Structure 1
Amino acid sequence: MSTLPDCQTLSLRQYGAILHLTLDRPESRNAMSLDMVREMSTVFDQIAADCTIRAIILRGAGGHFCAGGDIRDMAAARSQKPGAGKDPFRDLNRAFGRLIQQVNEAPQVVIAVLEGAVMGGGFGLACVSDLAIAAENARFAMPETSLGIIPAQIAPFVVERIGLTQARRLALLGLKIDGAEAQRLGIVHQVVENESALAAATDAAIDQLIRCAPQATAATKALLHQAGTVPMSDLLDEAAQQFAETVRGEEGAEGTLAFMQKRPPAWAAKNDT
């Protein structure tokens, strides 16, 4: 089990195999500062190989998920001069891109619990979650073009999530949409009416995911990420090899035995969430 780092901008709580990661800057609607990016990146680095953590619950403190990037970091970067291969704006932006890629490729199941502002970088995080549950009060937007900048790091992930046609509409017009529209577009999977319903939906998702074998889940997620990027024949050859290995592996043996004995498999023990 990983030792979780001490964080100033995040709240971390682990219950059994579930890590709750809360963006904890409510005074700024959890705007993503460079410190927050660094702390989140450290967390995802540390848990990348930790098979005892099976899911990460991402949410924001104070009724908002994330209002986007921190304007103060932008102002600080403006006061620095580029030089010697360094550009403060580029480096600031690219640091978030590396984080969102980490979240996207994490072997664990990532569940985004979304309320209030889901803007900019927060919108990007929602788009790399494996499951997104939104409250009715959630509002989603890519407002960058209305601020004279571009959604440089999140745009490719938004296209992957909802397709080029809808990504164009949202990004080029800087539209703000509600949870129902976000669900229609495929940004979120479920919209619920209030805080208690959010908690119930999250608990239900956790109950479901612990029925699935952790190594098989991680391997399946990696396989899904390769679809469309690896030639189909090569991908199916590799998938067949992995299938054979999982059938012969501990999880495959336990799953088969549990099915025959009409009992839950060992990995499906109830978690304290």
Structure 2
Amino acid sequence: MTSEVLIVEDRGPIRVITLNRPERGNSLDARLGKALLETVRETAHSHSVRAVLLTGAGRSFCSGDDIAGVLALTGAEDLSAAAADESGQFYYPLICSALRAAPQPVVAAINGTVAGAGLEIACAADLRLCSDTARFGVKVLSIGHAGCAALLPRVIGWPRATELFLTSRWMDAAETHRIGLVSSVHAETELVPHALALAADLARSATGAIGCYKSFRAQTEHQSADQAVLSQQQLHETVLANVDDASEGPRARIERRQPRFTGR
């Protein structure tokens, strides 16, 4: 699946996906958008991949849609430059949806600039870490567009997301950590090793239960608190019926040993 614009590497049960357009800030064009979407969808069906690490090459995680592609969608340029499929559907919402639907835990290692569509993609990950040199921005209003109104508000709340949209300002790593957008901040050279260690811990866990949790999370997003609490009966029944590790965990606890989770 590795291509000129996307590097895909399996490190045991961890799939490392690296956006590889560093000369363009890893912005999404048609090639990268299509490659990333296809890779995430294929990964979701892989039984050997138990955790995903998403990062970017160079000094950016993903700076959003390629500006030339955005201009193309106005009809001013060739549509083939845009980060959209033949029907005009943007790739980044499909990528976000695929990341959220994937049963594996997804860790985003945000190594530098992230903006616009790239920020929504980061918010689609289950966990986010960043380097101390990373910067985060919505930035779409500065080019006359609107966006980051789907996943960013779910992570940091509507008031903060609205302020970032309206001001087009950058946030540094310390601020994003303070508001909960990232769980930890690391020196630039230590980011990926820390993210890999986290992904390895997750890969050793009961990843079948993680997949059930992610599915339940999506199901209950629009339910009331009472509805969601009552729906957890369905979550418990699903795990007991479909996750082999659900019996291994309690057995290991009773036998006073470490569980041997298989991810099934």
Quickly name the TM-score band, shorter chain normalised: 0.7 to 0.9
SS of residue matched to 2:128: strand
- Asked if the contact 2:109–2:129 (Cα under 8 Å) also holds between the matched residues in 1, the reply is yes
- Asked if the contact 1:63–1:116 (Cα under 8 Å) also holds between the matched residues in 2, the reply is yes
What amino acid is aligned across from residue 216 of structure 1 in structure 2?
A: A
What are the superposed Cα offsets for residues 3-55 of structure 1, whole Å, 9 maximum, x if unpaired?
xx343310000112110000001111111112111111111221223232121
SS of residue matched to 1:140: strand
Which of 199, 208, 218 aligns to 1:206? It is: 199
Whether 1:250 aligns to 2:241 is no
Which of 178, 192, 204 aligns to 2:186? It is: 192
Whether 1:111 aligns to 2:104 is no
Q: Structure 2 length normalisation: TM-score?
A: 0.87
Q: RMSD value over aligned CA atoms?
A: 2.5
1:142: Cα distance to partner?
Answer: 0.7
What is the percent sequence identity of the aligned residues?
A: 26
Q: Report the CA distance shift for 1:91/1:181 in structure 2 as closer, same or farther (over 3 A).
A: farther
| Distance (Å, rounded) in 2 between the aligned partners of 1:192 and 1:267 | 29
Identify which range, 105-114 or 135-144, moves more after superposition.
105-114
Map of 1:85 onto structure 2: none
Q: Structure 1 length normalisation: TM-score?
A: 0.85
What are the superposed Cα offsets for residues 166-215 of structure 1, whole Å, 9 maximum, x if unpaired?
001100111111001111122111111231x2133213312431342011
Which of 261, 269, 272 aligns to 2:255? It is: 261
Whether 1:179 aligns to 2:173 is yes
What amino acid is aligned across from residue 115 of structure 1 in structure 2?
A: N
What amino acid is aligned across from residue 265 of structure 1 in structure 2?
A: P
Q: Report the CA distance shift for 1:89/1:226 in structure 2 as closer, same or farther (over 3 A).
A: closer
- Asked if the contact 2:14–2:200 (Cα under 8 Å) also holds between the matched residues in 1, the reply is no
| Distance (Å, rounded) in 2 between the aligned partners of 1:142 and 1:157 | 12
What amino acid is aligned across from residue 33 of structure 2 in structure 1?
A: V
The equivalences for 1:101-140 within 5 A come to 101-140=97-136
| Distance (Å, rounded) in 2 between the aligned partners of 1:121 and 1:81 | 20
What are the superposed Cα offsets for residues 121-168 of structure 1, whole Å, 9 maximum, x if unpaired?
1111121111111111001111111111111xx311111111110001
| Distance (Å, rounded) in 1 between the aligned partners of 2:47 and 2:244 | 14
Tell me which stretches of 4 or more aligned residues in structure 1 moved more than 4 Å.
88-93, 231-234
| Distance (Å, rounded) in 1 between the aligned partners of 2:150 and 2:77 | 28
1:90: Cα distance to partner?
Answer: 11
What amino acid is aligned across from residue 118 of structure 2 in structure 1?
A: G
- Asked if the contact 2:85–2:91 (Cα under 8 Å) also holds between the matched residues in 1, the reply is no
Identify which range, 19-28 or 71-80, moves more after superposition.
71-80
What are the superposed Cα offsets for residues 81-109 of structure 1, whole Å, 9 maximum, x if unpaired?
99xxxxx8995463321222212222111
Map of 1:239 onto structure 2: 232
Whether 1:46 aligns to 2:46 is no
Which of 152, 155, 163 aligns to 1:161? It is: 155
- Asked if the contact 2:107–2:199 (Cα under 8 Å) also holds between the matched residues in 1, the reply is no
Q: Report the CA distance shift for 1:12/1:6 in structure 2 as closer, same or farther (over 3 A).
A: closer
SS of residue matched to 2:49: coil
| Distance (Å, rounded) in 1 between the aligned partners of 2:123 and 2:235 | 27
Which of 140, 146, 159 aligns to 1:150? It is: 146
| Distance (Å, rounded) in 2 between the aligned partners of 1:204 and 1:6 | 23
